[in-house]
Structure 1
Amino acid sequence: MDDTELAERLARDLDGTFEALVRAHVDRCHAIALRVLGNPHDAEEVAQDALVRAYRALEGWPPERIREVRLRPWLATIVVNQCRNRVRRHAPPTTPLAPLVEAGLEPPADPSGDPAGLAARAAGRDQLASLLAGLPERYRVPVVLRHVDDLSYAELAEVLGRPEGTLKAQVHRGLALLRAAAAGTGLEEMTA
C-alpha cells in the first residue's frame, strides 16, 4: 500500500491502521537515525520515539489533515528532530559506513571475492565512516538524507525547513569536504 492510501486509512481508523504505518516505515526511520547518530542502540530508541510522536500528533489531527500529510518526509522530519535532540543531550556521534553502500560512496565490489580485497574494502568503509562522522551536522544530515535515504531536494527542504538552493549547496559542500578529507587516504575513488 502506498503512502496516499495509508494516509487515507489512517484518517478513517488511526488505531487500526497505525500498525501498518509502523510496518511500512520503521526500517526507514531506524536507517535514518542510524546514519545520523551512528549508534544502533540510540537509533532504535530514536526510531521508536519518532513513531510514538507521530501517533500522538495524528491523534490530535482532524481526518482532513491526516489525508493530506506526506508520510515519508513528515516521518523523516520527526526522526531528524529526534536525532538532533539526542545529540544535544549526548556525546558526539559516530557514523558507521555500511549503510552508505547505496549512496555510491564506496568502491565497486571486488568480483573475485578475494579476502584481501574484501578486507581493504571494509577498511575503506571504516575510513569513510570516520570522514562522514567528522562532517559538521549542517552538511552530514543533508548528505545522508539525499544520498543514502534518497530524498529529493523538495523533500529535504520539507524535512529540514531550509530552501532547496541552500540544501543543494550544503550537499555539494558536504560531498566536497568528504572528497577533500579523502584525498591522500586511498578513498579518492569512493568519493569521486
Structure 2
Amino acid sequence: MGSGIVDDVRATDVPSPPDDDRADEPDAALAAHLAADLDGGFAVLMRRHRGVVWSVARQFVRDPADAEDLAADAFLRAYRALRSYDAARLQTLRIRPWLLTILRNTARNAARDRSRRPAPPPSYETAADEPGTGHGVEQHAESGELQRELGAALAQLSEVQRTAVVLRHVVGLGTGEVAEVLGVAEGTAKSHISRGLARLRPLVENLREEATR
C-alpha cells in the first residue's frame, strides 16, 4: 500500500468547520476568552475544533450517529473540566491535543462498556464523499471501497498504533501533538506511527488479494 490511501482519506474525511470571525484565534487568545467568558469562549472552541473532533471520533466507532454521540460526550467532558480550571492553567492549555486526549479516553471507556455486552466489533471506516458532490459514480464506488479496505485494516492494529496513525496521517496532527494525545514521548509517538504504518501496508494488500479471489 502506498501513501495514496492515507492521502485519499485525509482529503475526504476531514470536514471543515464553518467560518467564524473568532474561530481561528490562537490558543492563548482563546484561553483568555474562556477565562473571561466560559460559555462564549467554549462556543468558539467548539466551532474551531468540532471538525477534527468529529473526524477522529469517526475512526473510533462504526456508526456516524455513535460518532456524533462520542464527540458530544467529549465536548461535555471538556466543558466540565474547563469549569474547574483557573486562568493560570488555561494559559498553558494546548487545546487541540487536550480535546483529543479527552476524546480518546472517552472512546476507550465506551469501548470497555461495549465489550461487556455482545456487539459487532467497530470497523473504523472512514466517511466517503456523499453522492452528488461532483464525483462520478465509478470514482465514488472506488473511494468507498478504498475507505472500507483502510477501515478494516485499521481495525486490526493495536489501539495505540491505530490512534497514532489516524491522528498523524488521517487528521494531519504534528508528531508532538500525537505524543500529547497518547501521553508518551515524541520519539515513542514516532515509533507507534512508523510501526502502525508498517503493519497497515501488508494488511491492506492482503485484504485486496482476498477480495479478488
> TM-score range, shorter-chain basis?
0.7 to 0.9
Quick one: structure 1 residues 127 and 3, their matched pair in 2 at CA, closer, same or farther if it must change by over 3 Å? Answer: same
Quick one: structure 1 residues 87 and 5, their matched pair in 2 at CA, closer, same or farther if it must change by over 3 Å? Answer: same
Aligned to 2:156: 134
Aligned to 1:36: 60
Cα distance in 1 for partners of 2:84, 2:98 equals 15
Deviation at 1:117, TM superposition (A): 5.2
Mapped contact 1:36–1:83 kept (Cα < 8 A): yes
Task: Point out the structure with the larger helix share.
Answer: 1
Q: What TM-score do the two structures reach when normalised by structure 1?
A: 0.81
Which amino acid in 1 is paired with 2:44?
Answer: A
**Unaligned runs of at least 5 residues, structure 1:** 102-112, 188-192
Deviation at 1:184, TM superposition (A): 4.9
Find out whether 1:66 has 2:90 as its counterpart.
yes
Deviation at 1:161, TM superposition (A): 0.7
Deviation at 1:80, TM superposition (A): 0.7
Aligned to 2:19: none
Mapped contact 2:149–2:208 kept (Cα < 8 A): no
**Unaligned runs of at least 5 residues, structure 2:** 1-24, 130-134
Q: What TM-score do the two structures reach when normalised by structure 2?
A: 0.74
Within a 5 Å distance, the mapping from 1:21-100 to structure 2 comes to: 21-90=45-114, 91=119, 92-98=121-127
Cα distance in 1 for partners of 2:157, 2:107 equals 16
Which structure's relative contact order is higher, taking Cα pairs within 8 Å and 6+ residues apart? 2
Find out whether 1:179 has 2:195 as its counterpart.
no
Cα distance in 2 for partners of 1:31, 1:184 equals 26
Cα distance in 2 for partners of 1:29, 1:115 equals 29
Mapped contact 2:58–2:126 kept (Cα < 8 A): no
Q: How many equivalent pairs are there?
A: 175
Cα distance in 2 for partners of 1:120, 1:42 equals 25
Q: Percent identity between the aligned chains?
A: 42
